[in-house]
Structure 1
Amino acid sequence: MIAPTLKVLSRAPDNNQLSNNTIKPYLLLQNAGTTPIPYNTITLRYWLTTENTIPLLFQKNYVAIGQGNLYLRYVPLSPARQGATGYIEYSFNAGAGSLAPNGDSGPLEVQTSKQDYSNFVQSDDYSYINNNSYTLNARITAYQNGVIFYGTEPMASGSTRAAAPEAGSQLTVKVLGNPVVGSSAEIEISGVMGQVVQVKLIDMQGKTVYAHSIKDARSVERVNLPLGNAQGLLLLDVSTTTQRQLVKLLRP
């Protein structure tokens, strides 16, 4: 049975160091339901870009349910997706027991480095958000018995299109000022003249903050996005029928 009441939270203890030879995707699971969830039915995916094909090394700094009960591996993707050349998979053995109703797993604090200790660049990692305390993160996906029940997987990369766009027709999205200061963000969209363009601004809980549709795009379109009360890292999703761009937007 799928457990929709289970949530995934993450925190980044790296003080916004977006380029480092070690990354620390610290996770925590919550069970808001009334039924225990066996850990060995759960897998998690932290989606990231590794910049190259160097093998990854894992270290378990602190695992509240026992280090021996947590397994880690890196799974490369072919083809890559938007913001991900692969994912780190978290899985558990039966010795971990069950996640109690209205309880949490305690911290799953792990760190990852490359075998040659070259740098990661986290700014384009799909699952990365910069927050010092545990916060719901809908871009980390969770599965029970192989069926997704939390989060949203990254979209397929634009490089998987059947045909390459003509010269000068590549979708380009620019945020005019990032981090954003003020109550709105201004973006510039080009390369989609005559097409229908969908613009969405999404927060880290997967909620749409603002949506806008352009019916017949000009060569360059400027769109003002009201931010409301949204703060922190936001995901800007701009798409046509054939192309898509995802851009991280920061509002301190």
Structure 2
Amino acid sequence: MVDQRRWGDLKFWKDYAALGKENMQGTFMALGTPTATADHYVDITFDASLGQLAPLSETEELKVRITKTDWADFDQENDYSNHTESGWILQEQMAVYYYGRLLFGVAPDSVNDASAAQRTTIAKEENSIREDQSAEPTTVNVFPNPTQGKLQLEVAASAEKPVEVSIYNADGVLMVTRTLEEPTSTWDISSYAAGIYLVHINQSGLRTVHKVVKE
């Protein structure tokens, strides 16, 4: 928790970025509604000259540090996202947003942080279940890929119902969404610009993503 009245100014250190640390910036932002365990966050942005991050790709490794300008220690006992593990872990208490929509993790709860911790435990159990399920053969096939305009989606008889399908472009804009009623469906994307599209498939909470190239 960042109480700047007590701690003073903070400094964001860029140790390494595969994309070039000179292209990365970190800004300390205040939460609009502070909670008992969080009042600030770090907004990490990249220079526009890098262009867009391609779907299903990654920034590669980033190494950053946060210190006080006087190098004094932090009191991390009530920090919402702090974790004592030194190795790599799945940290659900680091929330990831995209255009204001929560995509991953559990954000600090301004009403009851205990309930947020409980939801984190539930999310961890659900993730474990879904990871086991994802090891099974896919129950939805998307073809042809690449396509010049028509997509076929085939849903196996074993697929959990309902099956909801949404298509997003590379900028994250929703193009179309439907609930599949039949085992086979045809999608006409001939009017879409050439590029990469993401087909999001939701089978009763089990989510998979297919990358499709429109020629």
TM range (shorter): 0.3 to 0.5
The answer to which structure, 1 or 2, has the higher relative contact order (CA under 8 A, 6+ apart) is 1
**By percentage of residues, which structure has more strand?**
1
TM-score, L = length of structure 1? 0.41
Please, what TM-score do these two structures have when normalized by structure 2? 0.47
Quick check: which has more Rg, 1 or 2? Answer: 2
